[in-house]
Amino acid sequence: MTNETPHFSRPVHLREVPPTGRYFVIETNEDERRAIARQLGVPDVAALTAKLHVTPFRKDGLAVDGTIRARLTQICVVTAEPFESEVDAPVDVRFSPDGQDPNAEFDLAELHNPDAEDPPDLLSGDTIDLGAIVCEFLALALDPYPRKPGAAFEGDEDEAGLSPFAALNKLKDKDS
């Protein structure tokens, strides 16, 4: 998680979470959704809710799991037209004082098993922000190249199978 100020905040203190865990239902208001839309670079976030279960993790950490549901407007990369889409995204993250700082540099060679469970995020202090977690997992769930249903790129068939180098050679041949 980053250190920037979240667009909406739902702080949870370690002491608020009993040993059996605690459920949170997060509803966003219009101002929060507008700010989240700006952060995500989308025209509109019409609805955003989250159902999260926060439980103790190890001796002095917290785990958060649940789901996020959003209805938002995106811009199609093919037609450049706005369209509505719905997102259902899982949330699963753990925080611990001995966790990994997400802003710290790491060595890719240390990643022996890419399918291994992620280490816990660093818990600095004794509070987590469910609002920031919701924003982060929503951003991760969005398609970076959204397409309106039924939209298809229709390019020149001769160029469809060309590699970038073949296209450059074709241009080079024209100049000769």
The answer as to whether 70 is a domain residue is: yes
114 found inside a domain: yes
Check residue 2 and give its pLDDT.
Answer: 43
Indicate yes or no: pTM above 0.85.
no
Model confidence pLDDT, tens digit, residues 10-40:
999 999 999 999 999 999 999 999 999 999 9
Would strands 11-13 and 22-27 be described as parallel, antiparallel, or unpaired? unpaired
Residue 1 lies in a domain: no
CB 114 within 8 A of CB 105: no
Structural domain total, the chain: 1
Q: Could you tell me if residue 6 is inside a domain?
A: no
Is residue 5 situated within a structural domain?
A: no
Sign of the torsion formed by the C-alpha atoms of 139, 64, 129 and 34: positive
Answer whether residue 93 is part of any domain: yes
Task: Note whether 122 and 60 are within 8 A (CB).
Answer: no
Low-confidence ranges of the chain (pLDDT < 70): 1-7, 100-104, 106-114, 155-164, 167-168, 170, 172-176
Task: Report the distance separating Cα 107 and Cα 31, nearest Å.
Answer: 40
Identify the domain containing residue 153 by its residue range.
11-175
The reply to whether 2 falls in a domain is: no
Contact indicator for 50, 87 with CB cutoff of 8 Å: no
In a domain, 39, yes or no: yes
Per-residue pLDDT at 90: 97
pLDDT tens readout for residues 4-18: 555 689 999 999 999
Instruction: Report which of 83, 51, 53, 87 is spatially closest to residue 69, judged by C-alpha positions.
Output: 87
Instruction: Give the pLDDT confidence score for residue 1 in this predicted structure.
Output: 42
